[in-house]
C-alpha cells in the first residue's frame, strides 16, 4: 500500500477512535490540522454523520458545516459559519475567553513568585470574568450602534439628538481637553492626533448617519431638512473650536 494511503488509513482510524467529547485538532500542528479537517470534511460524502466538539474556532469554521456555539453549557448561537462569525453573543464570549486566559496567565505568574495563589480563588476569577464580559458587551453594543448610525438604520431622532448632539458634544469636549493638556506638555503632534484624529472621523460619521436616517424619515420633510442642516452646522462648529 502506498505511504500516502497508509497515512490516510491511520488518520481515519484515529478519528474514528476518538471519544465524542474529544477536541480533535486542539493540540496538533497546522499541517496535521489541515489533514484532519480535510478528512472530516469528506466523511459526510461517504454517508457518515460527524458530530465534532472543538475549541479551535478556525478549524470548525473552515469545515463549512452547521455550527452550534455553547457558553457555560448554554447554546448561544447556531447556524452557518458566516452567521456564527457575526453573532454578537459569540463575539462577546470569544473576547471573554481571551480575558479569562489572561487571568490564568496572571495566576501562574503569581504562583511562580511564591505569592499565595488564594488571591486568585474562584470568586475573584468569576468576578473578573464577569467584568471582562461586561466590557466586551459594551464594546460590541457601541460598535453595533456606530455601524447602525453610519448605515442610517437608526431613527432620525436617535441619530440626531443622541449620537450627533449628545455624544458629539462629549467626544469633541473630551478631545479638546486632551488637546490642551498635550499642548501644555509640549507634545504638538500627539495633540493634533488626539484633537482631530478622533473627533473629525466621528463628526463625519454623525453627519453621514443623520443624512441617511433623514432619507428614510417618514415624518415631515422639514424636520429631515432641519436635522441635516443642524448636524452640519454643529459638527463644523465643534471641529473648528
**What are 5-61's pLDDT values in tens digits?**
555 556 565 555 555 545 555 556 777 777 777 877 787 777 777 777 777 767 777
pLDDT score for 116: 42
Instruction: State how far the Cα of 164 lies from the Cα of 230, in Å rounded to an integer.
Output: 10
CB 99 within 8 A of CB 113: no
Instruction: State how far the Cα of 49 lies from the Cα of 21, in Å rounded to an integer.
Output: 15
Instruction: State how far the Cα of 164 lies from the Cα of 213, in Å rounded to an integer.
Output: 12
Instruction: State how far the Cα of 203 lies from the Cα of 209, in Å rounded to an integer.
Output: 10
Could you tell me the pTM of the whole model? 0.53
pLDDT score for 31: 78
Instruction: State how far the Cα of 63 lies from the Cα of 65, in Å rounded to an integer.
Output: 6
Q: Which long-range contacts (CB under 8 A, 24 or more apart) does 159-162 make?
A: 159/206, 159/209, 159/210, 159/213, 159/227, 160/210, 160/213, 160/227, 160/230, 160/231
Give tens-digit pLDDT for 200-210.
999 999 999 99
pLDDT score for 159: 95
Nearest to 173 by CA among 150, 135, 199, 144: 199
pLDDT score for 62: 75
pLDDT score for 15: 56
Cell of residue 176, nine digits:
479638546
pLDDT score for 98: 44
Tell how far CA 1 is from the center of its chain.
48
Nearest to 65 by CA among 21, 54, 75, 29: 54
Tens digit of each residue's pLDDT, the chain (241 residues): 445 555 555 656 555 555 554 555 555 677 777 777 787 778 777 777 777 777 776 777 777 678 888 877 788 888 888 787 777 777 766 654 444 444 443 444 434 444 444 444 456 666 666 777 777 778 788 888 999 999 999 999 999 999 999 999 999 999 999 999 999 999 999 999 988 999 999 999 999 999 999 999 999 999 999 999 999 999 999 988 7
Amino acid at each position: 500500500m502506498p505511504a500516502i494511503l497508509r497515512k490516510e488509513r491511520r488518520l481515519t482510524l484515529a478519528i474514528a477512535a476518538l471519544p465524542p467529547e474529544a477536541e480533535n485538532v486542539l493540540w496538533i500542528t497546522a499541517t496535521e490540522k489541515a489533514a484532519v479537517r480535510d478528512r472530516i470534511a469528506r466523511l459526510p460524502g461517504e454517508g457518515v454523520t460527524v458530530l465534532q466538539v472543538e475549541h479551535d474556532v478556525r478549524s470548525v469554521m473552515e469545515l463549512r458545516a452547521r455550527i452550534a456555539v455553547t457558553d457555560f453549557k448554554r447554546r448561544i448561537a447556531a447556524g452557518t459559519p458566516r452567521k456564527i462569525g457575526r453573532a454578537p453573543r459569540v463575539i462577546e464570549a470569544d473576547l471573554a475567553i481571551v480575558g479569562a486566559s489572561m487571568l490564568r496567565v496572571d495566576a501562574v505568574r503569581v504562583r511562580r513568585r511564591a505569592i499565595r495563589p488564594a488571591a486568585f480563588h474562584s470568586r475573584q476569577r468569576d468576578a473578573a470574568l464577569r467584568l471582562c464580559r461586561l466590557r466586551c458587551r459594551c464594546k460590541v453594543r457601541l460598535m453595533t450602534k456606530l455601524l447602525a448610525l453610519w448605515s442610517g438604520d437608526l431613527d432620525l431622532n436617535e441619530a440626531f439628538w443622541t449620537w450627533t448632539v449628545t455624544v458629539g458634544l462629549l467626544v469633541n469636549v473630551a478631545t479638546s481637553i486632551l488637546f490642551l493638556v498635550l499642548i501644555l506638555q509640549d507634545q504638538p503632534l500627539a495633540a493634533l492626533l488626539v484633537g482631530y484624529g478622533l473627533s473629525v472621523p466621528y463628526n463625519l460619521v454623525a453627519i453621514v448617519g443623520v443624512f441617511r436616517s433623514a432619507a428614510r424619515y417618514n415624518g415631515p420633510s422639514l424636520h429631515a431638512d432641519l436635522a441635516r442642516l443642524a448636524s452640519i452646522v454643529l459638527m463644523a462648529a465643534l471641529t473648528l473650536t
